A = this chain, B = another copy of it.
Amino acid sequence: MILGGDGFCGWPTSLHLSNIGHEIVIIDNLSRRKIDVELAVDSLTPITSIHNRLAAWKAITNKQIKFYEFDLAEEYYLLLETIKTEQPDIIVHFAEQRSAPYSTKSERNKRYTVNNNLTATHNVLCAIVDSGLDIYLIHLGSIGVYGYHTTKMQIPEGYLTVQVAARDGTSVQQEILYPFDTESIYHMTKAQDQMFFHYYNRNNSIRITDLHQGNVWGTQTQETRLDERLINRFDYDGVYGTVLNRFIIQAAVGYPLTVYGSGGQTRAFIHIQDTVRCIELAVNNPPPKGAKVQIFNQTTQTHRIKELAETMANIVKGTKINYIENPRGGIEDSENDFFVAKECFPALGLNPILLERGLIDEVSEIASKYRHRCDHSKILPPNWT
């Protein structure tokens, strides 16, 4: 069962898991498409309706994916009933509002993000307990829960070992959840989700894997490439478009690459094809019953934003770089290193797609092909403040 299975990560994950033989049920309220309407933007790629997507998948592969359209934050009893009817072995939960800029735009967006994300996650956990079924939950978290700061230590995969002074003057070693320090309302909800997982894992023995994912780039996967009706979304706007997607479209339309501030911010990245592989690896490697929440960092590379802009300018000759005032100034550090552990997935067999190679494909396969669909007025961050 894929919650949010029509979204940017959910859709290619649904296809991939279906392709390798899993029976797939999607629940989605289509909120991401509706926010496009609200923001008056559209995917650069011409995504078709979920119904056309599923019909095309059936036509091409003869595999059936079932679809329920409802809001799982609003409709608890329908969620519970659907779980009881479908009896999933595994639930993959992508159903959260995922744009940091969107989440801090206004009090309405703050409150929507908090209410939607926290209620959705809590409803899923409640419904798993209530169903009486032994369901394994995989959740898409965010690497942003750690905070983007330069640290003298390596950021671990979820858990940190610390020494604490004991009452008797000795020192005690303890394993703790890495202390959160989030820079947006969106990231805050992912940190709060961790508390739900800790509680329900401990009190109801639910098996949970939480995936702290980096910035996702790229568009297509092995399955979404099979037919244009299966194409994945590509967000290039200043709200949902992540930094690499914005650079890709800017280079393709001959617009200078807009770097926020000095570009000294280091961020973690992963290609959408690797996201899909990571979910498959998480599906195949649940934590044992009774074990604590399993946390993996789902990222393959870290880069400074400035380096990415330079890489991009090298790929598309003639591209200029434009350093603009950071719309997130005062919230994020203007420069940071980001030393983050990412050994779990390679140890399970992930062989990552590297930016240096994949970016070229992305420019030729997506940005050049669909650049006529680009609304240039949407590339810059909106002036919301």
**Interface on A for B, CB 8 Å cutoff?**
76, 80, 107, 110-111, 114-115, 118-119, 122-123, 126-127, 129-130, 151-154, 160-168, 170-172, 174, 176-177, 179-183, 185, 188, 191-192, 195-196, 198-199, 203, 331, 339
Chain B residue numbers with a CB within 8 Å of A180 are: 195, 198
Chain B residue numbers with a CB within 8 Å of A107 are: 76, 80, 126-127, 129-130
| A115 to B123 alpha-carbon distance, docked (Å) | 10
Copies of this chain, complex-wide, total: 2
- Closest residue to A106 on the B side, CB-wise? B130
| A130 to B105 alpha-carbon distance, docked (Å) | 12
15 contacts between A and B (CB under 8 A): A110-B122, A114-B119, A115-B115, A118-B192, A153-B165, A153-B166, A153-B172, A161-B164, A162-B164, A179-B179, A181-B198, A182-B195, A183-B203, A188-B195, A192-B192
| A198 to B123 alpha-carbon distance, docked (Å) | 25
Chain B residue numbers with a CB within 8 Å of A203 are: 183, 331
| A191 to B164 alpha-carbon distance, docked (Å) | 21
Nearest chain B CB to A381's CB is how many angstroms away? 17
Nearest chain B CB to A102's CB is how many angstroms away? 15
Partner of A177, one of B160, B164, B179: B179
Chain B residue numbers with a CB within 8 Å of A164 are: 153, 160-163
| A182 to B198 alpha-carbon distance, docked (Å) | 9
Partner of A122, one of B111, B162, B174: B111
- Closest residue to A127 on the B side, CB-wise? B107
| A216 to B199 alpha-carbon distance, docked (Å) | 24
Asked if B153 contacts A167 (CB within 8 A), the reply is yes
Given contacts A118-B114, A153-B167, A163-B163, contact A191 B182 (CB under 8 A): no
Chain B residue numbers with a CB within 8 Å of A126 are: 107, 110-111
A111-B119, A152-B166 given. 6 additional CB < 8 A pairs? A76-B111, A107-B126, A152-B170, A153-B164, A180-B195, A183-B203
Nearest chain B CB to A208's CB is how many angstroms away? 15
Nearest chain B CB to A39's CB is how many angstroms away? 21
- Closest residue to A76 on the B side, CB-wise? B111
Asked if B185 contacts A191 (CB within 8 A), the reply is no
Nearest chain B CB to A238's CB is how many angstroms away? 20
Chain B residue numbers with a CB within 8 Å of A339 are: 167
Nearest chain B CB to A177's CB is how many angstroms away? 6
Asked if B114 contacts A122 (CB within 8 A), the reply is yes
Chain B residue numbers with a CB within 8 Å of A111 are: 76, 119, 122-123, 126
Chain B residue numbers with a CB within 8 Å of A192 are: 118, 192, 195
| A164 to B107 alpha-carbon distance, docked (Å) | 37
